Amino acid sequence: MRAVPVASERADGDAGRPAATPLSSLFPGGRIRPGTAVSAGGDMPLLLALAAEASAGSAGWAAVGLPQLGALAAADAGLDLGAGMWVDEPGPHWPQVLATVVEAVPVVMVGALGPVPDRIGRRLSALLRRSGSILLAANAWAGAELRLAVTTATWEGVGSGYGLLRGRRARVISNGRGAAAEPRQADLWLPGPNGAAEPFEAPAGPGQQAEAVAALTVAERRAALRVVG
């Protein structure tokens, strides 16, 4: 894939308010802000949905340290496989590899590569701000401006031992720093019948927004417990 100057590629995309998408209610301003990092709380369908939304209309995307990411799932989620770059095993020098990719590619998904020292985290944050790229972390990321997590999920479509899966109903919550400090939530098909995220209308109960921050913390702890050495 040809590398392009990310900052210039992003420049024209900042004008006007973006159209509503299934995930837009989770973001301040209705979109992921260029030059920032977002964590997906250990949920692969959510990570793919974020990448598909962030990369729409961009020059390309990359996946670093995600050997489990399947091409079919990525395509079903809405990612253009022809614009993708895979770096399954970045090796012990992954900070340098990730920094190089961030400077060249507008949307970068990253898996669990190991502890991120403060110095490396600050450097990557500076690179994101300079390039305008978006970093989407599969798991917790110390420098994430926005943290998302799936708090409840139910697959539908299978009856008493028969039938086909229709999709997964999921409740996604988000909060973070600055404009993202106020918790938000959305009920989605994640994925929907066609493999992409779709809105799901569900009645809202009282006090749900106030519970979002606590639920997000629990979801992140569960995601961390899934990591086995």
Helix axis angle for 94-104 and 118-131, nearest 10°, is 10
Q: How far apart are CA 37 and CA 134, in angstroms?
A: 6
Q: What is the pLDDT of residue 18?
A: 63
SS3 track for 33-96: CCCCEEECCCCHHHHHHHHHHHHCCCCCEEEECCCCCCHHHHHHHCCCHHHEEEECCCCCCHHH
Instruction: Extract the runs of DSSP E, i.e. beta strands, from the chain.
Output: 37-39, 61-64, 84-87, 107-110, 134-137, 146-158, 163-176, 184-189, 198-199
- The pTM of this model reads 0.80
Q: Which two tokens stand for residue 1?
A: 């894939």
Q: Taking all residues of the chain, what is their mean pLDDT, rounded to a whole number?
A: 83
Q: Which residues contact 30 (CB under 8 A, 6 or more apart)?
A: 17, 18, 20, 21, 24
Q: Where are the alpha helices (DSSP H) in 162-203?
A: none
Q: What is the pLDDT of residue 227?
A: 39
Structural domains in the chain plus CATH codes: 26-137 (3.40.50.300), 149-225 (no CATH)
Q: What is the pLDDT of residue 157?
A: 77
| Nearest CA among 221, 229, 179 for reference residue 32 | 179
Q: What is the pLDDT of residue 156?
A: 87
- For the chain, count helices (H), then strands (E): 6, 9
Using 50 as the pLDDT threshold, list the residues of the chain that sit under it. Answer: 1-15, 203, 206, 210, 212-213, 215-216, 223-229
- Tally of CA atoms within 13 A in the half-sphere of 98 that contains its CB: 30
178: left (phi over 0), alpha (psi -120 to 50) or beta: left
The total of other beta-carbon atoms located within 10 Å of residue 73's CB is 15
| Nearest CA among 170, 195, 171 for reference residue 74 | 195
Q: What is the pLDDT of residue 3?
A: 38
